[in-house]
Amino acid sequence: MLHLSTEISDDWWEVEALYDLCFAPGREALSSYRLRDDVSPVSALCVLARDDDGILGAAIRYWPVLIGARRVLLLGPVAVHPTRQGEGLGGFVMRESLERARELGWERVMLVGDEPYYRRFGFQRLHGVQMPPPTNPDRVLGLNLVDDGWLGLCGTVTSSLGRTLPPDR
């Protein structure tokens, strides 16, 4: 049986170890990580799935970012332990955390990922939304958490600290 919990500070390194296991070396060099520098994740949305023995099977995190002056959730990373892949854990933490985001009043969420995979959760390519380079614009996806959450919203994604990132980052 799986147990969902909200990530706490004591979980940080265990979650980081899962991300290290699941993603290629250098993941922290990605432009999406620059948007997270010196910014705390949205703790209520950082969800863990553990089995009855307390072993971490999946984790997901969200970060606040801005497009202009409007708040947006940046989803990621989401990871499933290699021994648990194929069991639906990724989809489970995704759906649960997105529902929590709706309940907390967030209007929109974005991520950088493969549209064929994330389309099943309702994500679509965002046109007119630019992530810091070198992000492939075809991988910038968004989801409305309320009707028309993305309507008319376009521009460059910046850190929630309000700083614009230099092009070389």
Query: Kind of pairing, strands 155-159 and 47-50?
Result: unpaired
Give a yes or no: residue 165 inside a domain: no
Query: Kind of pairing, strands 3-6 and 47-50?
Result: antiparallel
Binned average pLDDT, 10 residues per bin, the chain of 169 residues: 94 95 78 82 96 97 94 96 94 97 97 96 96 92 97 94 43
Instruction: Please state whether the predicted TM-score (pTM) of the whole model is above 0.95.
Output: no
Residue 162: the pLDDT is: 53
Residue 14 maps to which CATH number?
Answer: 3.40.630.30
The answer for residues whose C-beta is within 8 angstroms of residue 69's C-beta and 6 or more apart is none
Contact 104, 6 (CB under 8 A): no
Give a yes or no: residue 145 inside a domain: yes
Contact 58, 80 (CB under 8 A): yes
Give a yes or no: residue 167 inside a domain: no
Q: Determine the structural domain holding residue 71 and report its residue range.
A: 3-159
**Long-range pairs, 125-128, Cβ under 8 A, ≥24:** 126/150, 127/154, 128/153, 128/154, 128/155
The structure tokens listed for 102 are 């709706």
Contact 157, 131 (CB under 8 A): yes
Angle at 126 between CA 64 and CA 42, to 5 degrees: 15
In tens, the pLDDT along 78-96 reads 999 999 999 999 999 999 9
Residue 52: the pLDDT is: 95
Contact 128, 110 (CB under 8 A): no
Residue 70: the pLDDT is: 94
The structure tokens listed for 163 are 């700083």
Count the domains in the chain. Answer: 1
